[in-house]
Structure 1
Amino acid sequence: MNAHLRKAVASLAACAAASGSALAQPPEPTALIDHQHCMFCHTVDKPFLAPSFRQIADRYRDQPHASAMLEAKLRHGGKAHWGDMSMPLPAERGGPLSAEDAHTLVQWVLSQ
């Protein structure tokens, strides 16, 4: 995540915390989604070749270690947790993904 986006997300979190409300939904990381070809298999709200981002959020949002597991799956690929389709290797999706970018994507998905 670039420094500008990181500051924007931190500002949103600080505003929400100061107002006593729930955290605002982070902005969609469009460039990362496009670079990783996420929409080839996922959509925001309906299953396609893989579960929707909302389905993923509903399943994992409240699980304590889900973020780390999902980030690792994004960075390294992994076995299927939904049906028969596994998460493709990064080389098949657009190239390597940094830990920071994986975290950004996962936090956005879990906010759906």
Structure 2
Amino acid sequence: MNPRDGTLAIQRCRDCGTLLAPLIAACSGCHGGDLESVPSSGIGSIVSSKVMHRELDGPQDNPASRTIAIVALDDGPWVYSWIAGHIPTHSGQPARDEFQPSAMDERLPLFLVQSDQGP
């Protein structure tokens, strides 16, 4: 992620060209370690998701929930991410997501579920 310019960066192996998730240290294709950061389209589909609940600081606070997911980027790699928006539960219809720059200082990118799902 590059919060300064609002792009999602992924890794590309300079030896074999395999595209990899951010924060990967070695290529899963050729096991090489010569990786470069390249921009991603920031578009993908949710593979799996889980709503996580946590208690806030004070007893008067309501529990907060966030959705963590694995997003298969159209570029190829899968990334762990936070999800904003309602995830459709229709069987066989993947949720399409778009990377959203976030002010949060997180290691995981934030994706927004696109609402214009077709039938």
**What is the TM-score with the length of structure 2 in the denominator?**
0.20
Considering fraction of residues, name the structure with more helix: 1
Which has the greater radius of gyration?
2
Considering fraction of residues, name the structure with more strand: 2
**What is the TM-score with the length of structure 1 in the denominator?**
0.20
